[in-house]
Structure 1
């Protein structure tokens, strides 16, 4: 069953205090969700031009933790920036706008079309430049100096590994916020933490249920946790 995290935004403090605009957004989200599970709701008073929005960051964290879809009343409630929306796609967060349910596919399609057009233009300019150079007698092809194509492949693999590591560390930070909340309730052992994460329906890193070992690895990966907190978190009750 699909799960959703709702995000509402108004642009002015007056709108936020009066509820003007928020009620309409809630109504639109409820109509779209139609009885399906909404695991959390967040609202914010902030301009759409600003990328620094704490409530939106919290909503995205909830989406990642629960494997939920971010639902908004109107696409412009999320952002007017294509760069910002593409960032969400890069992070793997799915979202849907009630006023344009196919915005996900539409946005990606537009971005892909623009990227393809740019690639085609670059390819055309490159062929023209090579033809002009060949006409001037420039020798094309072959290895130049210390240039090695193998080096580019190595760089690509290193970048891919770094991106995967950064995503895993970010996910661990999301989980640690929940772990700290659980520990505040008195739960200390790794297995107790795993049981409570499962009870809260938070997905393990690769899906499925949490185990004590997975909690341990997640705590170790979370860079924001101090060594003292890690030692306490990793205590295994006998």
Structure 2
């Protein structure tokens, strides 16, 4: 891997706090910004902007993160810099998805507290380890879902005509889509990992993923109304 030319790197900072009270105080955001600015100065990177989010870290579906990823995918900036991994995501699966997106779209990610630096060979090795952990977690989700369905059938529970997916599978589909994965790619990944469909099947289709996303969007809209 050829290291980034430090004389031309355009960095995008990302900071996040969870509550409006923290956002209003500005203390947490300022501390994160200071760390990001210091690192960019040390490495000779041009800090183009620092994007802030006041939102939960449970998913990647946040206004600031969405804008940051769009800028990165469009190659308006070269590297996303964050002070702490939990400011980016609290989910290993989400973080692994972000690493995969960075690799696919050819931009870099640097998270300072855990040394996740995709501008270096060591950082690429770290990304591979995270991806393996995420793969294990996905397979465990699939196994738990299959076991739960099996136990229900043994207990004589009749699954209705409109069975629902487990919340963690629905959230994973939404997060993967928000991170830039296409419908077919998501369906292929779920099939390869053995994650059961809502009816206990083993093959996912792009149309199924689209239906899940539409239902998720409709539920979110209903909750806001």
**What TM-score do the two structures reach when normalised by structure 2?**
0.47
Scaled by the length of structure 1, the TM-score of the pair is: 0.45
Structure of larger gyration radius: 1
